[in-house]
A = this chain, B = another copy of it.
Amino acid sequence: MLDLYHAEPAANSLKVLVAFKEKGLDFNSHFVNLHKFEQHEDGYLKINPNGQVPALVHDGGGVTESTVINEYVDEVFPDVPLKPDTPLGRARMRIWTKFVDEYFCPALSHLAWHYMIRGITDSLTEQQFEEYLSRIPLKEQRDKWRISAEQGNPPEQLEEWRRKVKVSVDRMETTLKENKWLAGDTFSLADVACFAMSPGLPQRFSEFANEKDTPHFIDWLNRMHERDGVKAALNMPNPLQESGEAPPMPDKW
């Protein structure tokens, strides 16, 4: 059995949920509430010592990193392949999934964190905040939390992250002008990875992610939303929204 540990269907959790649903995999869903810092609790750290979601347990082994999880399930359950059928196509796919992990996702994630953290931490005492912070295994994550919660990020830093999101959208647009899907003619994990970062972009970055400037990106986004696997992933139970715990965020980033 596949045991998938994930948060609400967004970003890296959405990336694995879309792949699992597209492939029609049966799995045990374990919701990890990031807003209650469950990813840093001892129980979860046994599954992923880095304290990050998603993580997969299968066949007695653990797999971390959303991109690696998606490659793993695509190898183990090849019936509905999510990789192009040529080596060059797979290389194009991996250049995209790498770009998402190293560039697109970090920029977006920093912005999300910037707009979200105070809604999470404002209700904590300083001591509680320090306690939560001390449990975070990765120093980079601790630094990100502290800077965002205490000092805030300087405007030029926010601008730099926005610039990277724009570069990412423009890069998708350029490719989608030529190809139906990001790695070529075939829907693949490249589309899954990019889509996981994209549902909120037309609203939050309407100044550059819109019908006029990036029509192929918008068309691709619409085609993604029509897919059954994507619909099923986005419709996964979301305990945060049901309980009203989802923190408020501004419409524009």
Contacts and interface: CB of A to CB of B under 8 A. Distances in A.
A59 interface: yes
The oligomer's copy count stands at: 2
Contact of A102 (B63, B95, B101): B101
Query: Mostly helix, strand, loop or mixed at chain A's interface?
Result: helix
Given A101-B102, A102-B101, A102-B102, A68 B91 contact: yes
B67 A91 contact: no
A217 B67 CA distance: 27
Interface string A48-75: 0000000000010101110111011001
Contacts of A76: 87
Nearest to A75: B87
A142 to B, nearest CB: 13
B75 A94 contact: no
A88 interface: yes
Nearest to A89: B61
Given A98-B101, A101-B102, A102-B101, A88 B63 contact: yes
Interface of A: 59, 61, 63-65, 67-69, 71-72, 75-76, 87-88, 90-91, 94-95, 98, 101-102, 139, 163
15 contacts: A59-B88, A61-B88, A63-B88, A64-B95, A65-B94, A65-B95, A67-B94, A67-B98, A68-B91, A68-B95, A68-B98, A75-B87, A75-B90, A76-B87, A98-B101
